[in-house]
Amino acid sequence: MKNIVILISGGGSNMAAIVRAAQREDWASRYGARICAVISNRADAKGLDIARDAGIATEVLDHKDFASRDAFDEALAALIERHAPAHQSTLVVLAGFMRILTPPFVQRYAGRLVNIHPSLLPAFTGLHTHQRALDAGCKFAGATVHQVTAELDHGQILAQAVVPILSGDSADTLAARVLTQEHQIYPRAVAQLLQTL
């Protein structure tokens, strides 16, 4: 069985979209895959409730309990592997996980660690992507699913969705439209990646 571990820090809407797709498309039968755990670095992350309601194991690992980023990432890897011991068939999916991961962690899951970013990479890596796109006078924005590498938001692009920027858009209205596209492309990209594991 291929294991999917999803990492979140907040509301978990992309995680919920992936869970719905896994159920609707029967990933267990189709790909031999299951979402075995949702892990958050914040105990108050609303996405934990969504995961519990779906019958998925949840864990909280508070980064503030660790003296260094390396120590946190080591503990995170140990927690992932407690839920998904078949290391080479584990896919780690970042869904609003607001932590920059260390190079050793990224290397450990190389090729099996994915993220979604709310811009058309390589444009606007990092934070405040929607406001930056508006400030730059862009005509289009969007979202990108990509492999995670040690360089922030620079891994291989797996999927993108383009969203037109409308006159009168604010960062919030643009973010809401981009998010609806994220919910479509992220589950599809994860399903495609499962076929390669």
- What confidence score (pLDDT) does residue 132 get? 98
**How many alpha carbons lie under 13 Å from residue 176 in its C-beta half-sphere?**
5
For the segment 40-59, what is each residue's pLDDT rounded down to a tens digit? Answer: 999 999 999 999 999 999 99
How many Å apart are CA 152 and CA 8, to the nearest integer? Answer: 17
Residue whose C-alpha is closest to residue 143's, from 5, 97, 157, 9: 157
The mean pLDDT of 8-26, rounded to a whole number, is 97
Q: What is the DSSP letter of 82?
A: H
Q: Annotated catalytic residue: which of 83, 117, 130, 146?
A: 117
For the segment 152-193, what is each residue's pLDDT rounded down to a tens digit? Answer: 899 999 999 999 999 999 999 999 999 999 999 999 999 999
Cβ(106)–Cβ(127) below 8 Å = no
Backbone φ, ψ for residue 163 (5° rounding): -125, 125
Only one residue has tokens 């992220």, namely 186
For the segment 81-118, what is each residue's pLDDT rounded down to a tens digit? Answer: 999 886 678 999 999 999 999 999 999 999 999 999 99
The mean pLDDT of 120-137, rounded to a whole number, is 97
The mean pLDDT of 64-82, rounded to a whole number, is 97
How many Å apart are CA 116 and CA 78, to the nearest integer? Answer: 23
Cβ(6)–Cβ(18) below 8 Å = yes
**What domains are there in the chain, each with its CATH number?**
2-194 (3.40.50.170)
- What confidence score (pLDDT) does residue 142 get? 98
Is residue 117 annotated as part of the catalytic site, yes or no? Answer: yes
* The two three-digit tokens of residue 32, written as one number: 């031999």
pLDDT value at 197 more than 90: no
